[in-house]
Amino acid sequence: MTDNSDASAGEASTPKADWYPDPGGVHEYRYFDGTSWTDDVSDHGQQSKAALTTSGPVPTTRRSSDKIRGQVRAKAGVDSTVAGGGTLFTEPVLVVNQKAKLIELNNEYAIYDQDGKQIGAIRQVGQSTLKKVARFVTSFDQFMTHSLQVVDMQGVVQLTVTRPKKFAKSKVHITDASGNQLGSIIQQNMIGKIRFSLVGPSGPIGTLNGENWRAWNFNIKDNDGTEVARITKTWEGLAKTMFTTADDYVLQIHRPLEEPLRSLVVASAVSVDLALKQDARGFG
């Protein structure tokens, strides 16, 4: 999609005519003609027509506050006393819990703060009927393009995480609410402790580093090698792990971060799940 620059101070706040993430939460992009949303949509570079539905769903895993707090403190070992700002970009701890399903045809996650209040969600978009069938009967979908929208509780898109079709190592691209490129999370190796590079528009800005061979826990470092965040996969019990496809993560951000590192860190927990579990089935 095209780069959507900000309007000048003297212009109205209405966005200019361009492609934007689909507010309906079904397709990757929808065309806004400067006045209203059109029926023109785009998924993985292929344009088609589809009427705009109501605002897309905001997935929830319906976890109790006590369970979320236990996940943060007992399972992830995080004892944060820093109060957050109540949004996806101002909380020091984000709990990313995947919706448990016996058969997973769409990836869905709920995002909570450290006290168990849901503040956002992640929903998969651009899934054609053919791709869902392939996902149900084969493992070929691991080589296909996958896109996820990170949304607030009103269903408004904050980030889009896209992993293009691949053969071996993964590359995940992050765009903002207007479809502007913020950067990429690029897998560097396939053997041993998995490592990713965080790359912004001007070059490398950090790394995402696996701390064990099963790729459960990661540290995130800036370009100076200082740890700025940490991802911990939390164990939800044998029954859930054996009979559902759900994965749960706690993302702890150690200090306020500047863009684009902040957005890449927020997107990193689901990017790891998308890059590794979606690809190989055997990670995690």
User: If you write DSSP's letter for every residue of 86-108 in order, what string do you get?
Assistant: SSTTT-SEEEEEEPP-SS-SS-E
pLDDT at 48: 92
- Could you read off the pLDDT of 48-60 as tens digits, one per residue? 998 887 666 788 8
Q: What would the mean pLDDT of 32-36 be, rounded to a whole number?
A: 87
pLDDT higher than threshold 50 for residue 80? yes
Give the per-residue pLDDT at 281: 40
d(C-alpha 192, C-alpha 226), whole Å:
22
For residue 28, pLDDT over 80 is answered with: yes
User: Average model confidence (pLDDT) for the chain?
Assistant: 81
Tokens linked to 284: 């995690």
Q: Which two tokens stand for residue 240?
A: 């859930």
Q: Which CATH number fits domain 65-280: 1.10.357.10, 3.40.50.720, 2.60.40.420, 2.40.160.200?
A: 2.40.160.200
β pairing state of 146-152 and 118-125:
antiparallel
Q: Which of 91-95, 171-175, 262-266 has the lowest mean pLDDT?
A: 171-175
CA separation (Å) from 122 to 34, 56, 75, 108, 149? 27, 11, 22, 6, 5
Sign of the dihedral through C-alpha 260, 265, 266, 270: positive
The mean pLDDT of 8-28, rounded to a whole number, is 70
Contact status, residue 244 vs residue 237, Cβ threshold 8 Å: no
> E-strand spans in the chain?
18-21, 29-32, 37-43, 46-49, 93-98, 108-112, 118-125, 146-152, 157-163, 171-176, 181-187, 195-200, 203-210, 217-222, 227-233, 248-253
- Write a three-state SS string for 141-191: HHHCCEEEEEEECCCCEEEEEEECCCCCCCEEEEEECCCCEEEEEEECCCC
CB distance 102 to 40 below 8 Å = no
- The tokens for 61 are 């895993």
Q: Give the residue, 265 or 129, on which the prediction is more confident.
A: 265
User: In which residue ranges of the chain is CATH 2.40.160.200 found?
Assistant: 65-280
Cα–Cα distances in Å, from 251 out to 66, 90, 142, 272, 276? 18, 13, 25, 12, 17
- What is the C-alpha to C-alpha distance for residues 92 and 110, in angstroms, rounded to an integer? 16
- Asked if 206 and 226 count as a contact pair (C-beta separation under 8 A), the reply is no
d(CA 230, CA 265): 9
Task: Return the pLDDT at 85.
Answer: 94
pLDDT in tens, 121-134: 998 887 655 554 44
**Coil vs helix vs strand at 205:** strand
Supply the pTM of this predicted model: 0.78
> Which stretch of DSSP H or E encloses residue 65?
helix 65-70
The mean pLDDT value for 178-201 works out to: 92
Coil, helix or strand at residue 282:
coil
